[in-house]
């Protein structure tokens, strides 16, 4: 369902180690809102019984049932650029996204996307 690239795995591992939180999992989720209808989120969290659990070289990733339908086939990468580094999410379910890359719209959502306000 969800894939983390090697670069994303290493960045998450680095962050977890710096915070001394190797006991937690990376939660990837979707919430309503953002410029295009839905927004991505990531946080360190304890896995819950209802979560889908994935393992990438010892990095646990959890996805809640509500977010799972929007994250099917998602690839999370970590990219360094001249403007700085950050996580990049490639979502095959998104038919449009905001220029900022933090929000998206699926084919099941009606209406036109909103302008990005970032």
Q: What is the mean pLDDT of each run of 10 residues along the chain (118 residues)?
A: 95 96 96 74 96 97 95 94 85 65 52 43
- Provide the pLDDT for residue 78: 95
Residue 42 lies in a domain: yes
Q: Model's pTM, two decimal places?
A: 0.77
What CATH number did the domain enclosing 62 receive?
A: 2.60.300.12
Q: Please tell me the distance from the alpha carbon of residue 11 to that of residue 6, in angstroms, as a whole number.
A: 9
What 8-state DSSP symbol labels residue 60?
Answer: E
What total of structural domains would you count in the chain? 1
- Provide the pLDDT for residue 50: 98
Residue 117 lies in a domain: no
- Provide the pLDDT for residue 118: 42
Residue 113 lies in a domain: no
- Provide the pLDDT for residue 113: 44
How many residues does this entry show for the chain?
A: 118
Residue 45 lies in a domain: yes
Instruction: Using DSSP, state whether 45 is helix, strand or coil.
Output: strand
Q: Please tell me the distance from the alpha carbon of residue 25 to that of residue 66, in angstroms, as a whole number.
A: 18
Residue 112 lies in a domain: no
Residue 35 lies in a domain: yes
Residue 32 lies in a domain: yes
Q: What domain range is 23 assigned to?
A: 3-106
Residue 93: half-sphere exposure toward Cβ, Cα within 13 Å: 21
- Provide the pLDDT for residue 83: 77
């Amino acid at each position: 369902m969800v894939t983390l690239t090697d670069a994303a795995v290493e960045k998450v591992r680095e962050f977890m180690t710096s915070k001394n939180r190797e006991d937690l999992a990376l939660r990837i989720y979707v919430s309503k809102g953002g410029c295009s209808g839905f927004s991505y989120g990531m946080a360190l969290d304890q896995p819950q019984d209802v979560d889908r659990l994935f393992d990438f070289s010892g990095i646990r990733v959890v996805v809640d049932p509500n977010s799972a339908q929007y994250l099917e086939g998602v690839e999370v990468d970590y990219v360094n650029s001249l403007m700085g580094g950050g996580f990049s999410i490639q979502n095959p379910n998104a038919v449009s996204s905001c220029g900022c890359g933090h929000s998206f719209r699926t084919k099941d959502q009606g209406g036109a996307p909103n302008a990005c306000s970032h």
